[in-house]
């Protein structure tokens, strides 16, 4: 008797059998690919212009891991569209481990909710490798501001709903969303003033053109600690006080819960890079973060060093995506 009386049944059986054989072979093929990895130059894409903080850190990382892996790692800048152009280039690259990149707060967790037409999906199309660092945010006011504490700030914001203004380095970024979250938490209205970059925003804050802003420590500490001071820090958006500003309370200490926030970034790859190659890259990057020189460059200005597993970074990105996309939807935030 013919065991396969119908040609369609035979085709289905053969397809299933081939699929099973392919699946069984994949771990072995991945191990084989990782054995000789890397055998050529690795490209690290930075989705921002040269000279910025992400670019600087990428070049430091590239130098370190290139030495550990025994191959050159070059940095390629692909700026534009709030980081979307470069991040899409990473997502669309050949998933062989020879194209990796910097993935940060906005392109990975925010932009999907702001831009209706995205060329990639951060969760579906990208493979997290490691969290590099988190930059805690600090709420600052001009030194000449009459507001001395967060208690003063909250009282003033409620008494002048719709009149208090805050600067940001651009719509949809960490500083803007921190302001939106503060509005939501206090239960009042404020005026968002987006700038084309952090420098002009800081200048107008110092001049008193705007009332306050969220920023990171490397940008604000020189103005907070200068003599005479040009900014005053009222609170930090962290779960505990920072050693660089030990006298500045957290927002939680000021009665504002759930306001922990940082501007973060890590290293990512296209989805589909074999797990053993991801593991090699993760190990090299963890080693780089343990280098005393690089660690000091990260933590010295007040940033929090990252590290850990790809799985931990993936969980972090997923949680951040849920948190900020919900805020954007609930508050009807649009790109400006």
Stronger pLDDT, 219 or 128, i.e. the higher one: 128
- On whether both 162 and 231 belong to a single domain, the answer is yes
Does 4 reside within a domain? no
pLDDT at 119: 92
pLDDT tens digits, residue range 45-54?
A: 999 999 888 9
- On whether both 270 and 130 belong to a single domain, the answer is yes
Does 30 reside within a domain? no
Q: Among 2, 16, 30, which residue's Cα sits nearest to residue 272? A: 30
- On whether both 127 and 40 belong to a single domain, the answer is yes
Stronger pLDDT, 335 or 12, i.e. the higher one: 335
Does 246 reside within a domain? no
pLDDT tens digits, residue range 173-212?
A: 899 999 999 999 999 999 999 998 888 999 999 999 999 9
Q: Among 277, 294, 263, 299, which residue's Cα sits nearest to residue 62? A: 294
Does 107 reside within a domain? yes
CATH number at residue 93: 3.40.190.150
| Helix, strand, coil % over all residues of the chain, rounded to 5 | 45, 20, 35
Residue in the block written with tokens 């001071």: 229
- On whether both 76 and 154 belong to a single domain, the answer is no
Is residue 313 a contact partner of residue 282, using CB atoms and an 8 Å limit?
Answer: no
Q: How far apart are CA 109 and CA 106, in angstroms?
A: 6
Report the DSSP pairing between strands 191-194 and 165-168. Answer: parallel
Element (H, E) at 217: helix 217-225
pLDDT tens digits, residue range 205-254?
A: 999 999 999 999 988 999 999 999 999 999 999 999 999 999 999 999 99
pLDDT at 82: 84
Q: Among 230, 63, 213, which residue's Cα sits nearest to residue 144? A: 230
Q: Among 243, 226, 259, 228, which residue's Cα sits nearest to residue 150? A: 259
Tokens of 261: 């926030």
Tally of structural domains, the chain:
2
pLDDT at 1: 46
Domain that holds residue 160: 136-236
Does 253 reside within a domain? no
Residue in the block written with tokens 């927002």: 251
For 277, residues 6+ apart whose C-beta sits below 8 A from its C-beta are 30, 33, 34, 37, 96, 97
- Residue 308, sorted as left (phi over 0), alpha (psi -120 to 50) or beta, turns out to be left
Tokens of 209: 């053109």
Does 23 reside within a domain? no
Q: How far apart are CA 2 and CA 111, in angstroms?
A: 58
Q: How far apart are CA 255 and CA 171, in angstroms?
A: 27
- State the pLDDT confidence band at 9, using cuts at 50, 70 and 90: low
- On whether both 167 and 124 belong to a single domain, the answer is no
- On whether both 129 and 276 belong to a single domain, the answer is yes
CATH number at residue 232: 3.40.190.10
pLDDT tens digits, residue range 261-319?
A: 999 999 999 999 999 999 999 999 999 999 999 999 999 989 999 999 999 999 999 99
Q: Among 115, 65, 66, which residue's Cα sits nearest to residue 87? A: 115
- What's the chain's average pLDDT? 91
pLDDT at 13: 59
106 by Cβ neighbours in 10 Å (0-12 / 13-18 / 19+) ranks as buried
pLDDT tens digits, residue range 23-63?
A: 554 555 556 667 899 999 999 999 999 988 899 999 999 99
- On whether both 116 and 140 belong to a single domain, the answer is no
């Amino acid at each position: 008797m013919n065991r396969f009386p119908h040609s369609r049944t035979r085709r289905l059986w053969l397809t299933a059998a081939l699929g099973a054989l392919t699946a069984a072979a994949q771990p072995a093929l991945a191990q084989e690919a990782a054995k000789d990895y890397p055998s050529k130059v690795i490209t690290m894409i930075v989705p921002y212009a040269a000279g910025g903080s992400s670019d600087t850190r990428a070049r430091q990382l590239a130098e370190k891991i290139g030495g550990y892996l025994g191959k050159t790692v070059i940095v390629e800048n692909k700026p534009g569209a709030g980081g979307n152009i470069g991040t899409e280039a990473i997502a669309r690259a050949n998933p062989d481990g020879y194209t990796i990149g910097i993935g940060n707060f906005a392109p990975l967790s925010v932009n999907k909710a702001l831009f209706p037409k995205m060329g990639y999906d951060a969760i579906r199309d990208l493979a997290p490798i490691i969290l590099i660092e988190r930059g805690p945010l600090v709420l600052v006011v001009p030194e000449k501001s009459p507001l001395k504490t967060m208690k003063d700030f909250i009282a003033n914001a409620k008494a002048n709903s719709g009149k208090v203004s805050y600067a940001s380095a651009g719509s949809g970024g960490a500083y803007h969303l921190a302001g939106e979250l503060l509005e939501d938490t206090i239960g009042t209205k404020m005026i968002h003033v987006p700038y084309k970059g952090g420098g002009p925003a800081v200048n107008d804050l110092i001049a008193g053109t705007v009332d306050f802003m969220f920023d990171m420590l490397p940008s604000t500490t020189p103005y907070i600690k200068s003599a005479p001071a040009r900014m005053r820090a009222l609170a930090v958006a962290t779960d505990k006080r920072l050693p660089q500003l030990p006298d500045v309370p957290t927002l939680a200490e000021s009665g504002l819960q759930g306001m922990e926030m940082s501007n973060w970034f890590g290293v990512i790859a296209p989805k589909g890079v074999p797990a053993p190659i991801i593991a090699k890259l993760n190990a090299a990057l963890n080693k780089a973060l343990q280098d005393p020189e690089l660690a000091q460059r990260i933590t010295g200005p007040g940033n929090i060093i990252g590290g850990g597993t790809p799985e931990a970074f993936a969980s972090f990105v997923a949680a951040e995506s849920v948190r900020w996309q919900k805020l954007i939807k609930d508050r009807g935030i649009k790109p400006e």
